[in-house]
Amino acid sequence: MKKAVLFLLLTGAAFATDKKRIVSVGAIASELTCEIGACGDIVATDVTSVYPPELMKKPKVGYVTRLSAEGILALRPTHLVVIDGAGPATALDQLKQSGVKIVRIPVGIGLGDAAKRLEILGEFAGNALAAKNLSQKMRADVTKLSHQKKSKRPAKVLFIYARGAQTLLAMGANTTAHELIELAGAANAFDAEGAKPVNAEAIAASQADIVLIPEGSLAGLGGAEALQKIPGLAQTPAGRKRRLVTLEDSLLAGMGPRTAAAARTLRSKIAEAMQK
């Protein structure tokens, strides 16, 4: 307690002017912190925080689960915004004991958690009203999209995430990718729970009409040509007709204010691809 008081006294000036120094950990935490207007107060982020692009210039405090207490304290933060699961617990404890306020963000994929994230951050940033408006707009946009009539035969989309060229994962139910596909009015071609490694047979069995792949994964694989060579793909309509749609990596971080717009873009891209 004494330590916290000392620490607060030293950073007293910062508090007096309500000047926050924020370290944000977790892609969705950083994105939303910026969204509610606290972007200028961010002094450092973790390595997964790549959106918005200006965050790339900030110092990096390591990976979500491997934070360095001393490294973070060196930046004299007033607040630490973290997603659930950040660690190690020792580092967070040390930071808490040193007087850094920790704001925790849930990571669930549904609309409920997305709204909660905005609510928590709005409260934190002192922008509760603005956050509420954002949240309501998000809720309205997303709900509208999910209530849109689906065509009789929605396009079957296979979402592929490449962890290096060796491991390909397909996204099944209960993933952000799945939500995006549904909101775009398409159907998930991959019938499983969560992210699963796929082999040629699974890909062929999906009979996907379209392959949806994040830009980072596509680059990692070696581009569209390399994608075509993936075993099993040639046996699907997506492979035969070369129907490939990409999206921004950062959209996979979690549902947020950008999701609805992204889903609409996706919808038109899918429609375009289906022309082939």
Positions in the binding site for other proteins (CB under 8 A) = 3, 6-7, 9-10, 44, 47, 59-66, 68-76, 85, 88-91, 93-94, 97-98, 163, 194-195, 197
CA distances from 195 to 62, 100, 157, 160, 211 (A): 24, 35, 15, 9, 15
Identity of the residue, 165 or 261, whose beta carbon is nearer to other proteins in the bound complex: 165
Identity of the residue, 140 or 197, whose beta carbon is nearer to other proteins in the bound complex: 197
Tell me which amino acid residue 273 is.
A
Q: How far is the CB of 98 from other proteins (least distance, A)?
A: 6
Distance CA 22, CA 30 (A): 10
Q: How far is the CB of 84 from other proteins (least distance, A)?
A: 10
Identity of the residue, 134 or 198, whose beta carbon is nearer to other proteins in the bound complex: 198
- Spatial CA neighbour of 263 closest among 144, 151, 183: 183
Q: How far is the CB of 6 from other proteins (least distance, A)?
A: 5
Identity of the residue, 144 or 163, whose beta carbon is nearer to other proteins in the bound complex: 163
Q: How far is the CB of 65 from other proteins (least distance, A)?
A: 5
CA distances from 247 to 27, 114, 182, 183, 269 (A): 16, 20, 15, 14, 10
Residue 168 in contact with residue 160, Cβ under 8 Å?
Answer: yes
